[in-house]
Amino acid sequence: MTPRIGARTMTDDDLDLLFAQARAETPADAGAADRFLARHRAERAAPPRRAPRWPPLLAAAAILAGVLVLRPTPALPASAAYDVYQGTLGEGW
């Protein structure tokens, strides 16, 4: 079946001419290819993304919290109330 454009039937010569025009490179095609290749090369040459900083900070905070929790508590100093009780009731109340 031969394609029709409007009321006119296209011949094989018309189709050959149409396909030849579609295959011919124009300045617009060259410009589009240049823009695409420039963007593609820029993306490939871009420095890699840096890793986020929060995972090491979170790990350091967890280690610090673990050290603080597992550390033995220091000996508590005698308070003034303890001294009063000891003086009133004697040793070993």
Q: Residue 62: what pLDDT? A: 92
User: Would you state the structure tokens that stand for residue 35, as one six-digit string?
Assistant: 């823009």
- How far apart are the C-alpha atoms of 28 and 53, rounded to whole Å? 45
Q: Residue 93: what pLDDT? A: 53
Torsion sign across C-alpha atoms 60, 66, 69, 75:
negative
Q: Residue 23: what pLDDT? A: 82
* pLDDT, tens digit, 9 for 90 and up, residues 33-84: 999 999 999 888 877 778 788 898 999 999 998 888 887 766 656 677 777 7
pTM of model > 0.85 = no
